[in-house]
Chain A
Amino acid sequence: MEKDIITLFADKLKEKLDGKFTLRSEVDRKGVTCGWCKLEDPSEITKAAQIVADFNGRIMTISALISSDEHVEISYHFYFGNVNCTVSITLPDNLREVKSITPILKSADWHEREIKEFYKIKLVGHPNPRALFLDKSIQMDKNTMVPLSAAMNGSSTSTLWEKIMKSNFGEEKQNE
């Protein structure tokens, strides 16, 4: 049954993809199937994602890897029909850019933003490509930071609210 899904996936890839691909699968002794697929053309990852979406699948995670010869390889770990299927692409030389699959699979949102931030890979077509963790662009300033001591006071007095009102008022003034 599970083997069928991998065969079905292969058939769909043959039908939808223009470029070449390789696909192998292995079944462990607990009966769990893992598929390993490599796409020749990295831009076709969106087509592969669409097939997964059609299968009611989701993405589990995305791993980027910089090989010893400086090539960037991205592995998309999909899950559909009780099968873990990894689809890998290798980015062409000097191009750190990949089509976003978030518009197709919403579950890819944070994973793509993470590879963007940690591997400097540009996402094309991501609805919200902001950094997630450490980038300077998301560092918070004094308008957004409220010290814990102030927050603790705020839980029993009006201090916190006064601070928020003041900060909102300040923002409005700046906008004017």
Chain B
Amino acid sequence: MSSYTIPIGPLHVALEEPIYFKLNVEGETVVGVDINAGHVHRGIEFLAMQRNYYQVLTLVERVCSLCSNNHPFTYCMAIEKIAQIEIPERAEYLRVITDEIKRIASHMFNVGIIAHNIGFDSFFMHLMELREVMQDVKESIFGNRMNLSANCIGGVRYDIEQDQIKYILRQLDSLKKPLEEAIKIYKTNSSICRRTVGVGVLPKDKAISYGVVGPVARASGLDLDVRVNTPYAAYDKVKVNIVTEQGGDAHSRAVVRLREIVESIRIVEECIKNLPDGPVDLGIMPTIPVGESIAKSEAPRGELIYYARSNGSEIPERLKWRVPTYQNWEALTVMMKGCKIADVPVIVGSIDPCVSCTER
């Protein structure tokens, strides 16, 4: 059997963003993978160290669009830790609500894309239409479909009134039944199962050694969830059930995301029910003293970590973040080994890769 080298990307019909895979194939079977990034590297980390703490907030929101809330959220927590600020309780709950709304929309997008990758376009359209329910929530509450600008150092920049609460609950309610059906389709539809079950398997031991995070880790049976393991914001008061699957394949990863949507809806409802009264921010712009800190949050794709170091000036001395996808790329080499070329887009899509996060 002849062996070939096949390029996928950096610009390719099956990829949303530019990344390059060099596949070594024998016949139709992939025997080796080489990943090459750097096509849209923007140097945001360097830029962040040229601006003051308040300007950086706007900048980090633009690292990525799908997890655009988690970047400022985690950044604020890191800076608040250095400044030893306690934010109002209502702000903590509002941060969780924003985060879960973004998670629902992000997961919907990914499971939709998987359906598209396997050629089930009517289902893709259906899931994207469902996602519009959350996009409408974002647009109505925050005034924008992607960058919500919800966070500020010391709290949040939005508040919800009684009629907005009613609207959010109504929208979430309207998601529940179609979502139940979508999960049923994902679990039982023979076209989906044929293309995803047993495809791109990441065994549990490899998941541990490659240090994968988020739904990729949870689909391989690891109970890793920052919200539970190292709670932040209101997650110490709100119950979060970690969703895990044991298959470790593309199918398990999609099912984890779908089940997490159900969980996120419940979390938003619980937050709204227990939403305390009070201010939503500190009303001051605190100065940041000398210090260093680590803050983490569970972004839709997994653990996001921010490391900040201040020398007492207005500009951060060091700001470093690691996005969840960054940790998951290498695991693709395990998932792709032995798969067919046609499975490559499904496997890549199944880790919900975020190139714009990687290329910060």
Chain B nearest CB: distance from A134 CB in Å?
Answer: 5
- Chain B contacts for A171, CB-based, 8 A: 5
B37 touches A107 (CB 8 A): no
From DSSP, what is the main secondary structure of chain A's interface residues? mixed
A59 touches B211 (CB 8 A): yes
Chain B nearest CB: distance from A63 CB in Å?
Answer: 4
B11 touches A148 (CB 8 A): yes
Q: With an 8 A cutoff between CB atoms, is A30 at the interface?
A: yes
B36 touches A140 (CB 8 A): yes
B208 touches A84 (CB 8 A): no
Chain B nearest CB: distance from A3 CB in Å?
Answer: 14
In the complex, which residues 47-84 of chain A have their Cβ closer than 8 Å to any Cβ of chain B?
Answer: 56, 58-61, 63, 65, 75, 77, 82, 84
Q: With an 8 A cutoff between CB atoms, is A123 at the interface?
A: no
Of A30, A75, A107, A147, which contacts B211 at CB under 8 A?
A107
Q: With an 8 A cutoff between CB atoms, is B305 at the interface?
A: yes
- Chain B contacts for A82, CB-based, 8 A: 229-230
Quick one: closest A residue to B5, CB to CB?
A: A168
Quick one: closest A residue to B18, CB to CB?
A: A148
Q: With an 8 A cutoff between CB atoms, is B284 at the interface?
A: no
In the complex, which residues 1-27 of chain B have their Cβ closer than 8 Å to any Cβ of chain A?
Answer: 4-7, 10-13, 20, 22
Chain A nearest CB: distance from B17 CB in Å?
Answer: 13
Number of B interface residues, CB 8 Å? 44
**Residue among B4, B10, B11, B41 with max Cβ neighbours from chain A (10 Å):** B11
Of A60, A86, A110, A147, which contacts B11 at CB under 8 A?
A147
Of B22, B36, B231, which contacts A32 at CB under 8 A?
B231
Query: Given A30-B231, A107-B327, is A138 in contact with B36 using a C-beta cutoff of 8 Å?
Result: yes
A106 touches B210 (CB 8 A): yes
B305 touches A60 (CB 8 A): yes
Quick one: closest A residue to B307, CB to CB?
A: A63
Interface string of A23-50 (1 = CB under 8 A from B): 0000011111010100000000000000
Q: With an 8 A cutoff between CB atoms, is A151 at the interface?
A: yes
A110 touches B329 (CB 8 A): yes
Of B41, B307, B359, which contacts A77 at CB under 8 A?
B307
Report the bound CA distance from A148 to B9 in whole Å.
8
Other contacts beyond A28-B81, A30-B236: 10, CB < 8 A: A58-B208, A60-B296, A61-B320, A65-B317, A132-B37, A133-B359, A138-B36, A144-B20, A146-B7, A164-B5
Nearest first, the 5 closest Cβ-Cβ pairs linking A and B are: A107-B211, A133-B38, A61-B322, A58-B211, A63-B320
